[in-house]
């Protein structure tokens, strides 16, 4: 990876201009009870209230807004069963770009319906026998589509960084910041912003305990690949960090922490009952790690990115019961 291929803070600034008026400027929330429990001053960036329900709209829209005329005409292809699919489908509709989304046959019906609802063509595959990346690449080659991956893409990373940019611009510098970690698009974009706007802030990525490839990679200095982890944090069921996200994380992040599914359920309950919001399991990773670090955070100013809120209500009820 050569230095010049990595996105910088200036790319995040350009992304912020590009998505302005299209993405929501989400609120920063506080909770007196959370402050009391942790003995800290907490600021929650509520990306669960972002368009389509997660920060991924930022990166998706930024990437598609950069297409040239030929790319716009031919269309975009993405593979995802989750929030990236909806982010690309909605962004494509807003920009008038045809979208094809490759989803597993057993993807939740609600997610397939939402993606089709945004006007995208859904192509299904068997996740046990077929390789979705190959299907995506074949479609791209055959129809001249541009493939936008969920995290390892400079425009996606720059777009995801705009959430933290808004947070620092609203509350000023922080002592600590916690962001969920899957493939690292959100964390690497957040890292570029943190080092520019709040350089002394300690920045932590948080991933599910069952899938700590990011932590292993960070500590060993090379990208570690794992099998798809079994966790309720479906937005962070990634198998490895990216070729772009990893070097940025390695350079600018203080550490990678983990949270168990039980901790995530406790935080979903806390956020629902005390803050009156539905946050999906993956979105609770940052808060779970902050609570576990309690003593260190006493008296500090702490940011937490609540990354998304897409969870079916029956599933939400099942997890909390």
Ligand X SMILES: *Cc1c(COP(=O)(O)O)cnc(C)c1O
Q: In the annotation, is 155 catalytic?
A: no
Q: Select from 18-26, 106-114, 177-185, 249-257 the region that touches ligand X (CB under 6 A).
A: 177-185
Which is nearer to ligand X, 100 or 231 (by Cβ)? Answer: 231
Q: Does 57 bind ligand X (CB under 6 A)?
A: no
Select the residue interacting with ligand X from 19, 90, 99, 186 (CB under 6 A).
186
Shortest separation between residue 40's beta carbon and ligand X, angstroms:
22
Which is nearer to ligand X, 163 or 302 (by Cβ)? Answer: 163
Q: In the annotation, is 17 catalytic?
A: no
Select the residue interacting with ligand X from 26, 50, 81, 83 (CB under 6 A).
83
Contacts of 130 (CB under 8 A, 6+ apart): none
Q: In the annotation, is 207 catalytic?
A: yes
Q: Does 152 bind ligand X (CB under 6 A)?
A: no
Interface map 255-294 toward ligand X (x if CB under 6 A): -------------------------x-xx-----------
| From 31, 188, 198, 307, active-site residue | 307
Q: Does 181 bind ligand X (CB under 6 A)?
A: yes
Q: In the annotation, is 81 catalytic?
A: yes
Shortest separation between residue 143's beta carbon and ligand X, angstroms:
26
Kindly identify the residues of this chain, within the stretch 201-240, that bind ligand X according to CB under 6 A. Answer: 235-236, 238
Q: Does 185 bind ligand X (CB under 6 A)?
A: yes
Q: Which residue has the tokens 């960084």?
A: 161
CA 196/CA 193 separation, integer angstroms = 5
Q: In the annotation, is 213 catalytic?
A: yes
**What residues are annotated to the active site?**
56, 81, 207, 211, 213, 307
Q: Which residues bind ligand X (CB under 6 A)?
A: 54, 56, 82-83, 150-151, 160, 180-187, 235-236, 238, 280, 282-283, 307-308
């Amino acid at each position: 990876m050569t230095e010049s291929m990595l996105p910088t803070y200036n790319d995040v600034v350009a992304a912020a201009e590009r998505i302005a008026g299209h993405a929501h400027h989400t609120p920063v929330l506080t909770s007196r009870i959370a402050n009391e429990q942790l003995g800290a001053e907490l600021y929650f960036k509520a990306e669960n209230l972002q368009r389509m329900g997660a920060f991924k709209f930022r990166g998706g829209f930024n990437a598609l807004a950069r297409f040239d005329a030929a790319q716009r005409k031919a269309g975009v292809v993405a593979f995802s069963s989750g929030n990236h699919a909806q982010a690309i489908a909605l962004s494509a509709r807003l920009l008038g770009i045809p979208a094809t989304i490759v989803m597993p046959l057993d993807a939740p019906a609600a997610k397939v319906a939402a993606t089709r609802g945004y006007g995208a063509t859904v192509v299904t595959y068997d996740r046990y026998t077929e390789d979705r990346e190959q299907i995506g690449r074949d479609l791209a080659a055959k129809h001249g589509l541009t493939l936008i991956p969920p995290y390892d893409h400079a425009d996606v990373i720059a777009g995801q960084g705009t959430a933290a940019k808004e947070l620092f611009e609203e509350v000023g510098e922080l002592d600590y910041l916690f962001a969920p970690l899957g493939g690292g698009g959100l964390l690497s974009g957040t890292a570029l912003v943190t080092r520019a706007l709040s350089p002394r802030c300690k920045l932590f990525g948080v991933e599910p305990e069952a899938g700590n490839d990011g932590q292993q990679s960070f500590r060993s200095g090379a990208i570690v690949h794992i099998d798809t982890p079994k966790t309720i944090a479906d937005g962070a069921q990634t198998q490895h960090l990216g070729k772009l996200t990893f070097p940025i994380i390695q350079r600018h992040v203080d550490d990678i922490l983990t949270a168990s599914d039980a901790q995530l359920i406790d935080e979903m309950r806390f956020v629902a009952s005390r803050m009156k919001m539905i946050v999906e399991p993956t979105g609770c990773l940052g808060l779970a790690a902050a609570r576990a670090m309690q003593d260190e955070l006493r008296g500090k100013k702490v940011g937490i990115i609540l990354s998304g809120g897409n969870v079916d209500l029956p599933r939400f009820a099942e997890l909390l019961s």
